[in-house]
Amino acid sequence: MEIRYSLNRIAVLLFFFCMNFSSAIGFSQLGMDSTSKQIQLGLIGVSVACLMVNCINFKKVKITSILLIIILLIIAILSFNFTSNLAVFRMVLFLIIAQGLSVQKILSYNNYTLLFFFCIIILSSVIGITDMNYYGDIHKLYSFGFQNPNTPPVIAFTLITGYNLLKNKKLKKKEIFVEMGISFFIYYFFQNRTALIVLLFYLIFLIIANCASKSIWFKWVMKPFQYLFFIGTVLTCYVAFYFNPIDPTWYDWNILLSGRLALWKNFLYTYGMSIFGASSTNTIEPLDNAYLYLLIFNGMLMLIFFNGIFLYLSRFAYKCKNWGLFLAVIAYELYCFSESAPLSFNLCSVLLVFSWLVMNTRESRRFHDT
């Protein structure tokens, strides 16, 4: 039994290692040639093998979980046929690996391996293997070996939320203030206003929740935020459909948001929308909105599915009064307005919590409250 348990644990850790290694190559400047694509596919293949080893020790899987996996596998195959994108398939892998694991293990394995490769990419720029600087349209920004300077703040955000979810109610105020300092440090290097604003909002409300979590007014204030992902979807689609560059009001909002509104309109006009999504292989300019990215490149089905995920997570956290999880969900939903990367499974701590919730029975689910 001891040998089986050890093999299972090694397989799970290796799974997260390979999945984050694959993502790291894609994010870094090392992932800009055809060879890197083959390496990424090889790493995903190893991850599948690790998954099969872990499946040997499956004890009890819910019928609803099995049905969800089957449906997503069908969507993944159809989506790949139309888009050549493995995003849905990656989601299936992260869901299956969560079976039988505690939420602590899922979050810690992802955090440790993600942090490891985050540091490796930065080190590659320091020693000269990759470029440290990214030259934008206005001024030079630091990228530290990543293809886009917006990626490191997203990873830092993932690590912070993942750490806070691990600590949960044991999270101390001094740790939150340290994270605020890290937020300003991130802004200094990458000039990412969204990351700074979202992180400060998230961390300030964590402090407020720590003091007022038992108050009735706090619960009522938080109640509408259960539906924020749906609101974000509707708002983004409305803007993308009806943006008018000639209208003075639209023009002012577009300037305020660094031209994002015109970009959203252009992406929707260029790629359109379909059930299973469009190929993003030849897309050069990044689409800085996760809601629209889901609609265009993953399709209407996945946009509806993600609305269901975030509603499920929000209602679970709200009913359990787990304000740490609830605020993390809100923070990701806000981040989605100006970035697409936060909805990648390994870059979204709350999606990892979702995988744990849906893949384990009620009896085995124990979200630590102390």
* Rounded-to-integer distance, Cα 211 and Cα 179, Å: 18
Report the SS3 class of residue 125: helix
- pTM above threshold 0.85: yes
Taking each helix axis as running N to C, give the angle between helix 323-335 and helix 349-359, from 0 to 180 degrees, rounded to the nearest 10. 130
What is the three-state SS of 169-229? HHCCHHHHHHHHHHHHHHHHHHCCHHHHHHHHHHHHHHHHHHHHCCCHHHHHHHHHHHHHH
Average pLDDT of adjacent 10-residue blocks, the chain of 370 residues: 63 92 86 75 88 74 85 89 84 90 92 94 88 68 83 93 90 91 88 89 91 80 93 92 84 82 86 81 73 90 94 93 94 90 88 92 55
- Beta-carbon-side half-sphere exposure of residue 205 (alpha carbons within 13 Å): 19
Do residues 43 and 19 touch, judged by C-beta distance below 8 A? yes
Determine how many CB atoms are found less than 10 A away from the CB of residue 196.
18
* Rounded-to-integer distance, Cα 47 and Cα 316, Å: 30
pLDDT of res. 121:
92
Closest CA to 175 of 194, 159, 186, 191: 159
* Rounded-to-integer distance, Cα 65 and Cα 60, Å: 10
Do residues 335 and 165 touch, judged by C-beta distance below 8 A? no
Do residues 143 and 131 touch, judged by C-beta distance below 8 A? yes
- Beta-carbon-side half-sphere exposure of residue 285 (alpha carbons within 13 Å): 14
pLDDT digits (tens, 9 = 90+) for 171-222: 888 999 999 999 998 888 888 888 899 999 999 999 998 887 677 888 888 8
* Rounded-to-integer distance, Cα 4 and Cα 95, Å: 22
